[in-house]
């Protein structure tokens, strides 16, 4: 009962903030004037805030900014041992530096290194934390550009990437993170520049516990759906997640922006009911996932779990099964990737749910920005399918969905499954699956999870597999890179195509895209597409293990 109250209170809180916070983000993205700090940034980087960009220029700006970010972070990691606050940590080797740089710039935050023992404080603050802000900002900016494509009327422009990124970072991400950091510090999270403290454990042994700027990292880690962790055990560490209510607050921050962005969508297209329809799709998928994940873990299969009424292996005992399983669902329904329990030790079907959540394309509600534009792509596909069923040219928000739009939407959907399945097949073909601790179906699940997490820019790990080898770091780095930027370019191309159209007036034959029927259709298309694509792989992995 306490576990369900935890979930219900979370839902009520998200419902309460949907409208006010969504309206705040709308005003932040579409302000009446620029702030002084923003004007200074525009002058420093040589940007005209009134200039508009075509989809091609917008895409090139995103790619250029991200390429420079990867290069900077890679070099930062390679020379960290010579910098202030290095704490005696050596430089990171080439393949882990590549993997880490790509990981944080793509909003994945996959960690092929052991948390606090591999990074100094300066790299954590000026390297990883900075990318946590701007990578989240990039995702939201691209979502806003797609919305402008739906809202535009015979225009070639989608806004200005540099302006969008600046406003999102300074007006949305930064203020909330400052407030969250203060709350986390009050709760007991560490926020200092200490090299650490030697403590005596309950068994009489001595353990060195590293300090650092943890609370500030946690705030943007969750709010920006970044993931990762200052400590190797992530949000199971009491310095990262001290109490049950901080666990609740972290999940709330994970969901806050993705669940509120549909309000921004509704206001920008001039139909708030369209935003309600999109958030309803997100809510249906999210509630179903959380219920199934918690249910599979509470009623775990096997003699021992059934005897004690739960499957506690791998859970954070301070929080219990419902809170741990809810966190697992939240972090994989979004692109967060933070964990407070060990997914590799979940029951077969309980462990399958985080994989399925990522395979859905992380659209329920998905990462900041990426979840919304992913779901709008699925809504576009749904409209096309509905149009075929009634023999009518499909339209969404007055924009015709023709051959070009469907090609872009289809390519968007195919990128991630191709990366996941080809990557997993390559691991087995080259023998690199041998780094997994398990064989058989569970070993397949470990490999499948790794590539699903990387290609979907999630960053969580199933565990039980050694990935800090040259092959794994290179392969997963490529999956993260392609999984982020290929779909992103396709989204912007679709936005440009939509913006050039003149809206078509609604008629009696127009499919209402704000009613429960459309919500159900989008849910159905999302689930069916995933089932058709990934069911064979799931059948050989977690389903086979669960049925055995």
Cα–Cα distances in angstroms (integers) from residue 455 to residues 71, 241, 420, 448, 537, in the given order: 20, 27, 6, 11, 16
Query: Which of 157, 169, 336 has its CA nearest to residue 254?
Result: 336
Q: Structure tokens of 71?
A: 């290069």
Q: Given this model, what pLDDT does residue 305 score?
A: 64
Whether pLDDT at 206 is above 60: yes
Gap between the Cα atoms of 120 and 100, Å rounded: 14
Gap between the Cα atoms of 289 and 10, Å rounded: 15
Q: What percent of the chain has pLDDT over 90?
A: 72
- 61-70, 119-128, 383-392, 466-475 — most confident range: 61-70
Please report where in the chains the tokens 């070009």 appear, as a residue: 404
Gap between the Cα atoms of 156 and 495, Å rounded: 10
Report the mean per-residue pLDDT for the chain.
92
The residues, ordered by sequence, that sit 6+ positions from 136 with a Cβ below 8 Å of its Cβ are 107, 168, 173, 220, 223, 224, 225, 226, 257, 367, 368, 369
Q: Mean pLDDT lowest for which of 3-7, 61-65, 73-77, 168-172?
A: 3-7
| pTM, 2 dp | 0.95
Q: Structure tokens of 176?
A: 């909330």
Given a contact cutoff of 8 angstroms between Cβ atoms, the answer to whether 238 and 189 are in contact is no
Q: Structure tokens of 344?
A: 């590799």
pLDDT digit string, tens, across residues 1-50: 777 888 899 999 999 999 999 999 999 999 989 999 999 999 998 999 99
Q: Structure tokens of 153?
A: 């009327």
Please report where in the chains the tokens 């069911």 appear, as a residue: 535
* Residue span of the structural domain in which 228 resides: 2-547
Return the sign of the alpha-carbon dihedral for residues 248, 459, 73, 225.
negative
Gap between the Cα atoms of 296 and 286, Å rounded: 15
Whether pLDDT at 313 is above 80: no
Counting the structural domains of the chain, the total is 1
């Amino acid at each position: 009962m306490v576990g369900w109250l935890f979930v219900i209170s979370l839902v009520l809180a998200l419902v309460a903030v949907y409208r006010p916070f969504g309206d705040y983000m709308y005003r932040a993205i579409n302000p009446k004037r620029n702030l002084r700090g923003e004007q200074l940034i525009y002058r420093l980087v040589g940007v005209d805030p009134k200039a508009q960009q075509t989809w091609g220029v917008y895409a090139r700006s995103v790619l250029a900014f991200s390429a420079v970010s990867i290069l900077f972070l890679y070099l930062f990691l390679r020379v960290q041992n010579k910098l202030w606050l290095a704490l005696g940590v050596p430089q990171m080797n080439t393949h882990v530096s590549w993997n880490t740089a790509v990981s944080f710039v793509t909003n994945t935050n996959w960690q092929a290194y052991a948390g606090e023992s591999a990074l100094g404080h300066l790299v954590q603050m000026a390297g990883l934390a900075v990318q946590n802000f701007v990578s989240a900002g990039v995702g939201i900016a691209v979502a806003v550009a797609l919305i402008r494509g739906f809202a535009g009327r015979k225009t070639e422009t989608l806004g200005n990437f540099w302006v969008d990124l600046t406003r999102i970072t300074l007006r949305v991400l930064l203020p909330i993170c400052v407030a969250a950091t203060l709350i986390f510090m009050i709760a007991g999270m560490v926020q200092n520049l200490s090299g650490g403290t030697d403590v005596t454990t309950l068994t009489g042994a001595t353990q060195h516990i590293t300090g650092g700027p943890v609370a500030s990292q946690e705030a943007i880690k969750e709010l920006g759906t970044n993931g990762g962790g200052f400590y190797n055990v992530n949000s199971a560490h009491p310095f990262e997640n001290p109490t049950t209510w901080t666990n609740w607050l972290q999940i709330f921050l994970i969901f806050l922006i993705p669940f509120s962005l549909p309000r921004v969508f509704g206001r920008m297209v001039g139909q708030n009911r369209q935003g309600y329809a999109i958030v309803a799709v997100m809510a249906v998928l999210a509630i179903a996932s959380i219920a199934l994940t918690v249910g599979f873990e509470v009623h775990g299969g096997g003699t021992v779990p059934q005897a004690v009424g739960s499957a506690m292996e791998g859970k954070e005992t301070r929080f219990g099964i419902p809170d741990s399983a809810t966190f697992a669902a939240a972090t994989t329904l979004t692109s967060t990737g933070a964990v407070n329990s060990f997914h590799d030790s979940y029951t077969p079907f309980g462990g399958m749910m985080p994989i399925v959540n990522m395979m859905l394309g992380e659209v329920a509600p998905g990462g900041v920005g990426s979840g919304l534009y992913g779901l709008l792509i699925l809504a576009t596909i749904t409209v096309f399918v509905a149009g075929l069923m009634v023999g009518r040219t499909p339209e969404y928000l007055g924009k015709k969905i023709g051959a070009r739009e469907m090609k872009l939407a289809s390519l968007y959907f195919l990128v991630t499954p191709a990366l996941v399945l080809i990557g997993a097949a390559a691991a087995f073909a080259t023998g690199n699956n041998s780094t997994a601790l398990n064989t058989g179906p569970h070993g397949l699940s470990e490999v499948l999870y790794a590539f699903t997490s990387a290609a979907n820019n999630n960053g969580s790990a199933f565990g039980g597999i050694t990935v800090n080898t040259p092959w794994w770091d290179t392969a997963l780095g490529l999956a993260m890179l392609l999984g982020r930027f290929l779909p992103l370019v396709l989204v912007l191309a679709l936005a440009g195509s939509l913006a050039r159209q003149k809206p078509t007036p609604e008629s009696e034959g127009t499919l209402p895209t704000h009613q429960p029927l459309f919500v159900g259709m989008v849910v159905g298309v999302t689930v069916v597409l995933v089932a058709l694509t990934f069911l064979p792989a799931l059948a050989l992995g977690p389903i086979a293990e669960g049925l055995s």
